[in-house]
Amino acid sequence: MAKRLSEMTASFVLTNAFCYLCQKHMSMPFLPAEKLFSRSWFVSYVLILCGTFILAAGFVLFITPHRIVPGGVYGIAIVIHYLTQGMFSFAPNGLPVGTVAVSLDIPLILIGIKILGPRFGIKTIIGSALTAFWVDFLTSLYGYEPLVPDDTLLSSVFGGVLLGVGLGLIFKSKATSGGSDIIAMIAAKYTRMPVGQLLIIVDSLIVLFGLVAFRDWRIPLYSWVVIFITGRVIDYLLEGAVYHKSLFIISDKYEEIGQKLLYDLGRGGTLLAATGMYEGKERKIIFTNVNRREMILLRSYIHSIDPNAFITVFDASEVLGEGFKPLKD
């Protein structure tokens, strides 16, 4: 117990040092500031508090005990934790994951601010520090045993879900995860490659680092399962299930279709003037947003009056405005 408390103390000291750096840079023009103690301010920090706790629980209960390496600084921290087992008398079980992660995050964020400018925000710094604290705190309470000892795949699934929920809540607070995101953004500045591609490359290299360290091909396979599930859960939390469709409708019966939209479905639309490339004829295009049920009704109606109509359908991850989700958060 005393050893675990010493590990927590190390994490707590680093966390406080991290928060001091936060205060030092608070005057910098990070992201748009929220009014102190306003409702949105409280909501943001509650999301960060809950998100970091859930994220930490995913690591402690499911990810770290099975040596899964899901990219990012915590993937590196998990590898270092196991490689340092029995190496230090003050941490015989290995260097604490949270302490290692925040030790990596501090210089990365400072380097990111130096090279890219202060775009990360105080919330990202606080989120990184809180995640490290929760990881080491929960480890001190629960230990290093997995919640599901004999099923790594099940742990990968539920670990990915918890990581996705935690990160999704953090992102909703307008913070970022830091870590490998910063490496990818720095690389993008000098290579001109898309950040998304570079992030995949960076995380894949970290996963392969786990393969080299543990010499077990199952590690990267389980790790990619976690990365995939985490990404899907984050998308679901940020964008929701795709219930709305955006439609471009080309039809000679555009007036009848417009009446159907306005008076039967209660939806609006925009009439666009266009020219067909093949015949050079002037055409009208209807652009509208509907939900899935309304799309089925509209498609059936269009087919009944104009079988030659042309419809392009897009998934709309979010539709803001009258009749849909309000513009205000």
207 and 282 belong to one structural domain: no
Amino acid identity of residue 206, one-letter, is I
Name residue 274's beta-bridge partners.
283
CB-based contact 15:102 (threshold 8 Å): yes
Q: What is the mean pLDDT of the chain?
A: 83
Average pLDDT (157-170) is: 93
256 and 125 belong to one structural domain: no
pLDDT band at 17 (very low <50, low <70, confident <90, very high): very low
pLDDT for residue 125 is more than 90: no
Of 52-56, 201-205, 253-257, least confident by mean pLDDT is 201-205
CB-based contact 175:121 (threshold 8 Å): yes
Instruction: Give the per-residue SS3 of 251-269.
Output: CCCHHHHHHHHHHHCCCCC
CB-based contact 13:102 (threshold 8 Å): no
Cα-trace Rg, the chain: 25
| DSSP string covering 136-158 | HHHHHHH-S--SSTT-HHHHHHH
Q: Would residue 146 count as lying in a domain?
A: yes
Of 217-221, 312-316, 322-326, least confident by mean pLDDT is 322-326
223 and 263 belong to one structural domain: no
User: Which token pair is 5?
Assistant: 């408390």
**DSSP-derived pairing of the beta strands 244-250 and 282-291:** antiparallel
CB-based contact 94:202 (threshold 8 Å): no
pLDDT band at 34 (very low <50, low <70, confident <90, very high): low
Q: What is the CATH number of the domain that holds 298?
A: 3.30.70.120
Average pLDDT (114-127) is: 75
263 and 188 belong to one structural domain: no
| Interaxial angle between packed helices 39-58 and 122-142, expressed in degrees from 0 to 180 and rounded to the nearest 10 | 40
What is the pLDDT, as a whole number, of residue 201?
Answer: 86
20 and 100 belong to one structural domain: yes
46 and 191 belong to one structural domain: yes
Q: Would residue 280 count as lying in a domain?
A: yes
Number of independent structural domains in the chain: 2
CA 163 → CA 45, 50, 167, 220, 299, distances in Å?
18, 12, 6, 17, 39
Phi, psi of 314 (to 5 degrees): -120, 145
What is the pLDDT, as a whole number, of residue 198?
Answer: 81
CA dihedral 205, 211, 214, 216 (to 10 degrees): 160
301 and 221 belong to one structural domain: no
Domain around 50: 2-239
Q: Would residue 262 count as lying in a domain?
A: yes
Distance CA 78, CA 63 (A): 9
CB-based contact 140:212 (threshold 8 Å): no
Distance CA 267, CA 260 (A): 9
Strand ordering across the sheet containing 282-291: 270-275, 282-291, 244-250, 310-316
Q: Please identify which residue in the block is written with the tokens 């219930």.
A: 243
What is the pLDDT, as a whole number, of residue 222?
Answer: 95
3-state percent helix, strand, coil for the chain, nearest multiple of 5:
60, 10, 30
Please say which residue of 201, 217, 239 terminates a domain. 239
pLDDT band at 172 (very low <50, low <70, confident <90, very high): confident
281 and 215 belong to one structural domain: no
Distance CA 181, CA 109 (A): 10
pLDDT for residue 296 is more than 90: no
Q: Would residue 328 count as lying in a domain?
A: no
Q: Is 78 exposed, middle or buried (0-12, 13-18, 19+ CB in 10 A)?
A: buried
128 and 264 belong to one structural domain: no
Give just the sign of the alpha carbon dihedral 137, 143, 144, 147.
negative
pLDDT band at 291 (very low <50, low <70, confident <90, very high): confident
Please say which residue of 183, 211, 239 terminates a domain. 239
Q: Would residue 173 count as lying in a domain?
A: yes
Tens of pLDDT, residue by residue over 193-233, are 776 678 788 888 999 999 999 999 999 999 999 999 998 88
Closest CA to 247 of 299, 312, 306: 312
**DSSP-derived pairing of the beta strands 244-250 and 310-316:** antiparallel
Q: Would residue 277 count as lying in a domain?
A: yes
What is the pLDDT, as a whole number, of residue 156?
Answer: 96
Q: Would residue 322 count as lying in a domain?
A: no
Please say which residue of 216, 239, 262 terminates a domain. 239
178 and 228 belong to one structural domain: yes
91 and 134 belong to one structural domain: yes
180 and 107 belong to one structural domain: yes
